[in-house]
Structure 1
Amino acid sequence: MVESTSTRCLLLLVLVGAAAEAASGIADGLLPNGNFEQGPDASQLNGTRVTGQHAIPSWEISGLVEYIQSGQNQQDGMVLAQLTGLSRRAYYSVTFSAARTCAQAEQLNVSVGPESGELPIQTVYTSSGWDSYSYAFRARHTTAWLTVHNAGVEEDPACGPLVDAFAIKTLSPPHHDKGNMLKNGDFEDGPYIAPDNPWGLLVPPMDEDDVSPLPGWMIMSDTKSVRYVDAAHHKVPHGSYAVELVAGSECALLQEARTVAGRTYRLSFSVGDADNGCAQPLAVRASAAYSSQVRGELEFAAIADVTRVVFQSANHYMKPDGTLCGPVVDDVSLVAVHKPAARRLFK
């Protein structure tokens, strides 16, 4: 969890950043000094500027770098990188927290080795101003540079995001569970959520060929995200994790399944309220009564050999503090319906 009043944050500005050495192994959780609580000595700081190449433990820097603490300001864009030990061909998710400092369109470029993606951070989903983001990749080698880059193209050179709390988690390859044509239908495989993170993780929009932090699922939008939440801080219909649709009709959670045209299928899912203070109209109407969570079913005949299962909130919802929220989706399954053949009568 990132607290804007006390947590130290690191901004690296212009040119290139690098890491001191590769980790000998990867365990789920914070990267070495991922929260930057181990900072430079006073002798290696000129105001907020870091003057030593290895001044920040577990990180190596070059160019203009600032170490930002509560109440301090930063300048220009940033590059932040760490060399990380990986298992070749394994799937990973990287998570971190970020806060905008100006009301301008901002995004962060995240890359691991040759893989890269852009995370829009213009929309703020928490009242604290800090949001946690996730990014996923498949390792091509046993080490790779993890880099987070702010291009620094804001109109105001004093603007730029603060970043903190970098963590990593090994993901299971996307696979079908028994009796379900969908992969990861219960969302139990997903990015790392720290135990003290009360607001969950944003899963940003991605291209169809990207590796997803939610194995098996895609998020389609221009700039909006869905939120991955845990049962420790939210009401989750099934298991330990679920997805909250926080962006209304501007974002869709979807997965493609192989089907046979003309065959009948049944889609089942749980949907409800995360019990996080979202607007009352979010309650789901079922059996002439309102319930915080319901089980839905949809039977349909496929019209193609690939069918898209899409979840999208029809409306925008807000908490009393003005932050976005929405319905929680969980425990999604798709099965073929085997109907008995029609009987023909002959005289």
Structure 2
Amino acid sequence: MKITAVFIAGVFLALASADILQNPDFELPPSNWRANSTTPFFPLDGNGTLPGWTFEGAVEYATAGPNLELTRDGHAIVLGQDGQINQTFTANGDQMQYLLTFTLARRIQNCTSNASLVVSAPDSSAQFSLTQRYGNEPWEVYGHQLGSWGDGESINLVIQSQVVDTDPNSTCWPVVDALSLITVRSLNQDHGNLLRNGGFEAGPSFLNFSNKGVLLDSEPSLTESALQQWTITGTVKYINAKNYFIPEGNSAIEIVSGTSAGVQTVVQLLTEGSNYNLEFMLGDANDSCPGDFTVGVTAGSSIQNFTIHSNGTGSAQKYLLTFTGAGPSPTPISFQSYTTTQREDGVLCGPVIDGVVLHASSGHRANLHSASLTVLLLIALLN
């Protein structure tokens, strides 16, 4: 019996592209701004320009200080009523995915959030809440896939505020800072893994000055997720080896938004009746997050729960789930948290997933081979 070839596809490699956006950290000030200005919030109007960007509505150039904490004590942009900034860039070369990382804060720290940030590009749009639950700083780092372009296409990136209620005087307007835009392209698949991006190495860039990872919100589409080839439920944190414990490689995910949050992918054309092994690492990120983590793992029609106890000091174990291929239909592979965990300071945290590998069971192939030899030997003896 010959094992059907499994869907062959590319994995993705992130290529740093720091020069895609002009003035991504807003450290080049407006043309009419003065460095000795004592105003922490400088309104932008028609009398000045912002290098690399155009703007509309109520937009302010902000300087870090007692009234506003920023990631590097530098400058940022506040988007007020109908405020938006735009930048157009050219997608050169082959078709690639464009992944954006940015920081998001609030102009007024101690108010109830009733505004959000909307990031859009041709054929894509995403909304980000100002509710901060995953860190103890007044800002968060987010990742988002803008889209896929190439061949000299002109792309307009729009970042704007959106009011949730009708009282603009009480709105906590969004503060945007430190954008990083990278491209990712496809490479040949690892021959030892039937999944794409099973090690979570392909995703948005990590900001050098941040040690808190990158938040990825819910995204039901494999082709539109910033975590390449994985859909997201709830919120997960994309973490790196520089600042966290990573079981394998440089990157992993931490499921931070509690029960029902997680990630899922699909694999095509598994052979019906054949056995497959799903291997993965389950652990904690060394971010002071103790507790019992329970993760539900689904592979086709097989579902199994795995529980580890975390001391919050960085550790991981390898697990195995064996299941049977169901034929030509796409086979879902998912990891879902069944627990909600908080640190002593109230920050939400959770289990780390890494090193997800899917391959045909070697025992199954050996049994098939032995059975075939036995049949051939019997035929020879009968003849």
| Fold match by TM threshold 0.5 | yes
The answer as to 2:203 corresponding to 1:190 is yes
Taking a change above 3 Å as real, the CA distance of residues 303 and 76 of structure 1, as seen in their structure-2 partners, is: same
Query: In 1, distance between residues paired with 2:278 and 2:91?
Result: 37
Of residues 243, 263, 277 in structure 2, which corresponds to 1:233?
A: 243
Q: In structure 2, the residue corresponding to 1:27 is in which secondary structure?
A: coil
Q: Which amino acid aligns with 1:60?
A: T
User: 1:181 is paired with a residue of what secondary structure?
Assistant: coil
Q: What is residue 327 of structure 1 aligned with on the other side?
A: 351
In 1: Cα distance, 2:207 partner to 2:43 partner = 29
Change (3 A) 1:303 1:249: farther
1:200-244 per-residue CA deviation (whole Å, 9 max, x = no partner) reads 111121232642212111113xxx311100100000000111111
Instruction: Work out which of the residue numbers 129, 140, 147 in structure 1 matches 2:138.
Output: 129
Match of 2:126 among 117, 124, 134: 117
What is the TM-score when the length of structure 2 is the normalising length? 0.74
Residue 42 (structure 1) aligned with residue 33 (structure 2): yes
TM-aligned CA distance change 1:89 to 1:74, over 3 Å: closer
Question: RMSD in angstroms over aligned alpha carbons?
Answer: 3.1
Shift of 1:171: 1.2
Which of 39, 43, 49 is the equivalent residue of 1:55? 49
Quote the residue 1:85 is aligned against: 90
- For residues 291 and 171 of structure 1, do their structure 2 counterparts lie closer, same or farther at Cα, with a shift above 3 Å needed? closer
1:163-184 Cα deviation digits (max 9, x unpaired): 1111111113376321111001
Aligned to 1:313: 337
Check if 1:166 corresponds to 2:183. Answer: no
Aligned-residue sequence identity (percent) comes to 28
Task: Please give the alpha-carbon distance, in whole angstroms, between the structure 1 residues aligned to 2:134 and 2:84.
Answer: 24
> 1:217 corresponds to which residue?
230
Cα pair distance change 1:174/1:92, threshold 3 Å: farther
Which one is further off, 319-328 or 136-145? 136-145
The whole-number CA distance in structure 2 between the counterparts of 1:206 and 1:156 is: 30
Whether the 8 Å contact between 1:109 and 1:148 is mirrored in structure 2 is: yes
C-alpha separation in 1, matches of 2:281 and 2:18: 28
- Alignment-derived partner of residue 276 in structure 1: 287
Superposed, 1:135-154 pairs within 5 Å as 135-136=144-145, 137-139=147-149, 141-154=152-165
Q: Is the 8 A contact 2:20 2:181 kept in 1?
A: yes
Q: Which of structures 1 and 2 has the bigger CA Rg? A: 2
Return 336-345 or 230-239, whichever deviates more.
336-345
Q: Which letter does structure 2 place at the counterpart of 1:319?
A: R
Answer yes or no: is the 8 Å Cα contact 1:270–1:295 preserved in 2.
yes
Contact 2:283–2:352 (CA under 8 A) maintained in structure 1: yes
TM-score, length basis structure 1: 0.81
- Judge conservation of contact 1:76–1:159 (CA < 8 Å) in 2: no
Long gaps (5+) in structure 1: 1-25
From the superposition, tell whether residues 218 and 48 of structure 1 become closer, same or farther in structure 2 (CA, over 3 Å).
same
Question: How far, CA to CA, are the matches of 1:29 and 1:177 in structure 2?
Answer: 30
Q: Which shifted more, 86-95 or 40-49?
A: 40-49
Q: How many residues align?
A: 316
- The match for 2:259 is 249
